[in-house]
Structure 1
Amino acid sequence: MGSPSHPSRSKRRRLAAVVKSLRQMPIPQAKSTYRRLLIVWAILVGGAFLLMLNLVRLQVVQAPDLLKQARSQQTSYLRPFIPRRPIVDHNGNMLAIDHPVYTLYAHPNAFKLPKPTVAEKLAPILGRSVADLTRKFDSAESGIRLEYSLAENAAERIRDLQLDGLDLNQQQQRLYPQQNLTADVVGYVDVDQVGQAGVEYSHKNLLERSVKAVRLSRTGMGTVMPDQVPGGFLHLDDLHLQLTIDSRVQRSAQSALQQQVKKFAAKRGVVLVMDVQDGSLRALVGDPSYDPNEYYKAKVERFKNWALTDLYEPGSTFKPLNVAIALEAGAIKPDQVFNDEGEIYIDSWPIQNFDYSYAGARGPVSVSEILQKSSNVGMVHIVQQMKPDVYYRWLQRIGLGQNTGSDLPFEIGGQLKDHNSFVQSPVDVATSAFGQGFSLTAIQLLQMHGILASGGKLLIPHVVQGLYDSNGQPYWQPYQSSPKQIFSPNTAQTVLGMMELVVSKGTGKGAQIPGYRIGGKTGTAQKASSGGGYQATAKITSFVGIFPIESPRYVVVAVIDEPKGEDAFGSTVAAPIVKSVIETLITIDKIPPSQPVTMPTPTPSP
């Protein structure tokens, strides 16, 4: 056998045969064939060039973008839904917690049973009629939402039915076990789990657990590869947000408040309790309130905590503070005597005592008696012992015109006239002496009386105690700055002694508790009118209680807006509320009596 022909020789023979055939062709036919060959060659060369250009475009120019697209198709980022941290009260009682609920969808086009049969099986679980559910099934072929927040036990019963065409989607929902008890403090979250009021709003950074998105690898079909899921990426901490609020005190305050609001047909009311050891709030309750579990049923104005947002003129409850200012400024002496005329005129404006129409002029009265009898005229004489500029600076120093700096949201500052307007108006100075002509909030009044109860220190009211783990160990606690000293301890104790006489002998007798030394001050103030002046019939009644006087621990403030009736005063409306709350505090904290209770000697039986 001969050896195979060399490839290059074979090609040359074929090319020679083509050339020979072209030479043998007629000239026109040869030229035409030659042009066709050139065109084919040009197309092949051009195509190869374009392919090369496209390869450069894909491999060089568009390489980064293509790589990014490929990674986006092959991986996905998952940020799992993580429940908010629970909120508990001072004793660990649950105030807010996330729990799973389910949304139930129906897809009638996937039912294998007749619609009435499906409706009949679901009706007892959903608490709805068969006819109602059947109508729902007829409204669309798919995607009908039957229930939004089914409990887990109801969802489990629906699963057990094993019905085709039903879809249960799980989500988290915030639950408030105490309902309206702590709504003014805790607040609520909306359908998107976003805090809208109270601590849920102001401390969302502590309640929302921080979870980073996790990158997961996918197969070509788009499913997640199990071996690519990082371990522990759904780890949850066991921290909870603990408040200073005591649900037992809160419930007592709520009960007493609701009783008085109903009895006097009042517009609304609020009660606050502060521990003067550190400014922590043991209770803050308003009435009417709302159930945060069903916040969407409440009127919008209910979401506003008016103890922090609504201004009012405090009236006589401010008088002890004015006495403390005058004592600290050296303008008066504790045993000084003033003449109470019952009625005086300041720049042609009459100022009277509340009982002038039947009590008339009292004549010489001590500073203590001025507080006991709640004398407006006596207070004007006390404040007149100071220069208006000095008095104004003291009002600013105790915090008037500012907010308290509490950790609850939406607090506003009080209102006080500017310096020049105030000092140049004798009437403004005179009306401020008995708590009118300026305004503050209930929590600001609480803070100011806390100055007297704490030995002269300005405390910051707060409700957040900190983040704690399941063992009760603190993880984070808020920084508490050192309180500012406003009055000397001697001045504070002197005024507290006068406030004790208000309860034992004066207008605050409604707050007396046998065996306990309690200080207090009543307040019944006209409500300012939006058009200027005061409303003829509307008033705000209030009472501030401090106890025990020998070693103050608590300040309790009750404010009732627009109580009705001839007997609606701070002494009759607000003082009984404070008394009830103090009795609860005595029981909870096991506070011993200040002095032995004198019991009547029993009469021997004949």
Structure 2
Amino acid sequence: MSSPYSFQTPRSRNRLYAKHSKLLSWANSPNFRAALVWGLLIAAICCLVINLFYVQIVQGSLLRGIAQSHQVTQIRPFMPRRNIVDRGGNILALDRPVFSLFAHPKLFKLSKEEVAEKLSPIMDRPADSLVKQFNEGETGIRIEYSLIEDISNRIIDLRLDGLELIPHQQRLYPHKEVAADIVGFVDGEHIGQAGLELSQQNILTRPSQEIRLRQMGDGSLMPDQIPTGFLNQDDLQLRLTLDTRLQRAVQPILQKQVTNVGAKKGTVIVMDAYTGELLTLASYPSYDPNQYYKSKPERYKTWAITDLYEPGSTFKPINVAIAIENKTIKPDTYINNPSAISIDGWPITGGSGGSETVTDIVINSYNVGMVHIVDTLKPEVYYAWLRRLGMGGVVGVDLPSESPGQFKSRKQFVESRIDRAVTAFGQGFSLTPMKLVQLNATIANGGKLVTPHVIQGLFDSKGRLYWRPSLPAQRQVFSPATAKVILPMMEGVVTQGTGKAAQLPGYHVAGKTGTSQKANGFGGYSESAYVTSFVSIFPADKPRYVVLAVIDEPAGGGYGGTIAAPVVKQVLQALTALENIPPSISGQVSGSASESKAG
């Protein structure tokens, strides 16, 4: 190939050499090198300015957030739930630190059998069962969920590789099933699911705010940046009206009777008639809130406020009080009381076959006589009084899931004589056991409708009140004179009539038996399913407490006076011992009348 210069003349070739030489001379000159350096510097500065603009302006907020996420951490310190204590300061619920034990067999330096042998005596579990769990996988096997601190420390002392203890808080209920109806329980997320743990969730949960803390490069917190007292917590606790001593005494009494008579369930309520404070609210069967998951969910409810029933004869003193308040009868008024009557084609039995005083009708629990007592009231007046007493509503107790009672409409009640007739002896409508306690308290306290409640308030460790719930004002529904004349009638039930099984030597006991048929779901009543009950006002000469026992569906039959009254007697014995109630009279309370089946 020929040279590119093969066609150039000597003159043009010399001119080209001269041009190249000039360019090389200028490129090597100091001025060119200075211009090049300055150009590069200006270009670099321009790039830097552009980059700074992009970083500072365009991505500034994003990068600041990323930086802060590494430099600052937000912590919401765990605040244990407040303790629940009874009226005497006995702890019913508290948070305690526990540990979950996880095993990672792939990290074991000893054999699985050797690790199990070392853990077995500490955890009180067979080594074989531990080995079986170790074989479930290579890592992340949960061995135990809630080990107490002492056991976790002993496991730490073993210094075994492959075991991990993770701390967390657990709610503990020291009295187990004894207070379950009132206290309830929390789930695995520490959220209340029943009882006060549910209804007072906001009160029991201590407030906590997120704290922003600076941390070092290795993630550890800078001590000088931690605010003073950020882990401090109040020492407030929720104090109840409940008397755990009485509750523990009542629970086995109730359990024994429900078991002996083959009943479905039972409940006992003890309330201060003047304040509405609940000293006892026991049910059987119950459950252990520490292991709530082992019980049927229907046991979680407090059926004394969630389940409705027809009160039967225990409602008769309330009807008599309405009639006396309206001055249509007096305690010694004679009432026609035949053996049986028919109303709107419905037969009603349970009379004496003659005339009886109002007092004798209550003492012997005559149904026919009660029908004639309420007949002395105008239907509109009778209905208005029942509504005034809160029939068809709730009592407003501070426990969750209270059910309102069921009651007829005004039109149906006023126009239907049979509806008024069955109401006279406590059937044809339904209420909760708690409502019946509230109504009987009006007779005990001089005619005032009080609100049953179980919360006293939030108190600190020194007993100083921090918060008290507001209760509705007590409402006068009966005159003190009316309440005063009803009490001797109810005392006569115990000394002479259907409630003699509740007699307590040395004390005046007022009460009323009740045996009501259960609805069969087809518009009628079952021939074999009954609810037996007994309500007492104690002591009758100086009324202070209302005590109710309800036994649902005793399998062997029986009446309120034979099934529920003996339970109340035993409860009263425990109450007098614990509250140091002195005897009112000396000797055995006596009486001669036999129990009527109407009770």
Q: Flag whether TM exceeds 0.5 (same fold).
A: yes
CA–CA separation in structure 2 for the residues paired with 1:202 and 1:22: 103
Partner of residue 495, structure 1: 486
| Partner AA of 2:579 in structure 1 | D
Partner of residue 435, structure 1: 426
CA–CA separation in structure 2 for the residues paired with 1:363 and 1:136: 78
Q: CA deviation at 1:62?
A: 3.3
Partner of residue 122, structure 2: 125
| Deviation digits for residues 74-106 of structure 1 (CA, Å, limit 9, x no counterpart) | 111111212111111111112111112111111
Equivalent position SS for 2:185? coil
Partner of residue 256, structure 1: 253
CA–CA separation in structure 1 for the residues paired with 2:172 and 2:406: 38
Query: Does residue 317 of structure 1 match 2:314?
Result: yes
Q: CA deviation at 1:49?
A: 5.1
Partner of residue 580, structure 2: 590
CA–CA separation in structure 2 for the residues paired with 1:429 and 1:597: 42
TM-score (normalizing by structure 2): 0.90
CA–CA separation in structure 2 for the residues paired with 1:522 and 1:420: 31
CA–CA separation in structure 2 for the residues paired with 1:489 and 1:119: 72
Q: Is the 8 A contact 1:399 1:448 kept in 2?
A: no
Most deviating of 229-238 and 162-171:
229-238
Q: CA deviation at 1:52?
A: 3.3
Q: CA deviation at 1:45?
A: 7.8
Q: CA deviation at 1:505?
A: 0.7
Task: Assess, with a 3 A threshold, how the Cα gap between structure 1 residues 381 and 227 changes in structure 2: closer, same or farther.
Answer: same
Q: Is the 8 A contact 1:85 1:207 kept in 2?
A: yes
Match 2:518 to one of 517, 522, 527: 527
Q: CA deviation at 1:44?
A: 9.4
Query: Does residue 138 of structure 1 match 2:135?
Result: yes
Equivalent position SS for 2:310? coil
Equivalent position SS for 1:312? coil
Q: Is the 8 A contact 1:510 1:572 kept in 2?
A: yes
1:193-592 to 2 correspondences below 5 Å: 193-353=190-350, 361-566=352-557, 568-592=558-582
| Deviation digits for residues 227-265 of structure 1 (CA, Å, limit 9, x no counterpart) | 222221111222221111111211222122112111111
Q: Is the 8 A contact 1:252 1:580 kept in 2?
A: no
Q: CA deviation at 1:208?
A: 1.3
Equivalent position SS for 1:401? coil
Q: Is the 8 A contact 1:96 1:177 kept in 2?
A: yes
Most deviating of 496-505 and 56-65:
56-65
| Partner AA of 2:87 in structure 1 | H
Q: Is the 8 A contact 2:536 2:547 kept in 1?
A: yes
Partner of residue 19, structure 2: 24
Q: CA deviation at 1:137?
A: 2.4
Task: Assess, with a 3 A threshold, how the Cα gap between structure 1 residues 378 and 78 changes in structure 2: closer, same or farther.
Answer: same
Q: Is the 8 A contact 2:187 2:193 kept in 1?
A: yes
Q: CA deviation at 1:65?
A: 3.3
Equivalent position SS for 1:541? strand
| Partner AA of 1:423 in structure 2 | V
Q: CA deviation at 1:22?
A: 11
CA–CA separation in structure 2 for the residues paired with 1:437 and 1:508: 23
Task: Assess, with a 3 A threshold, how the Cα gap between structure 1 residues 599 and 346 changes in structure 2: closer, same or farther.
Answer: closer
Partner of residue 6, structure 1: none
Q: CA deviation at 1:344?
A: 0.6
Partner of residue 95, structure 1: 92
Match 1:86 to one of 74, 80, 83: 83
| Partner AA of 1:235 in structure 2 | N
Q: CA deviation at 1:27?
A: 13
Q: CA deviation at 1:379?
A: 0.6
CA–CA separation in structure 2 for the residues paired with 1:22 and 1:238: 100
CA–CA separation in structure 2 for the residues paired with 1:403 and 1:349: 31
Q: CA deviation at 1:28?
A: 14
Equivalent position SS for 2:283? strand
CA–CA separation in structure 1 for the residues paired with 2:275 and 2:305: 19
Equivalent position SS for 1:475? strand
Partner of residue 154, structure 1: 151
* Uncovered stretches (5+) of structure 2, i.e. residues with no partner: 1-14, 25-32, 591-599
TM-score (normalizing by structure 1): 0.89
| Partner AA of 2:567 in structure 1 | I
* Uncovered stretches (5+) of structure 1, i.e. residues with no partner: 1-19, 30-36, 601-606
Q: CA deviation at 1:26?
A: 11
Q: Is the 8 A contact 1:545 1:578 kept in 2?
A: yes
| Deviation digits for residues 501-529 of structure 1 (CA, Å, limit 9, x no counterpart) | 11111101111112211111000000012
Q: CA deviation at 1:222?
A: 2.5
Q: Is the 8 A contact 2:314 2:514 kept in 1?
A: yes
CA–CA separation in structure 1 for the residues paired with 2:20 and 2:280: 114
Partner of residue 7, structure 1: none
CA–CA separation in structure 2 for the residues paired with 1:598 and 1:259: 26
| Partner AA of 1:109 in structure 2 | K
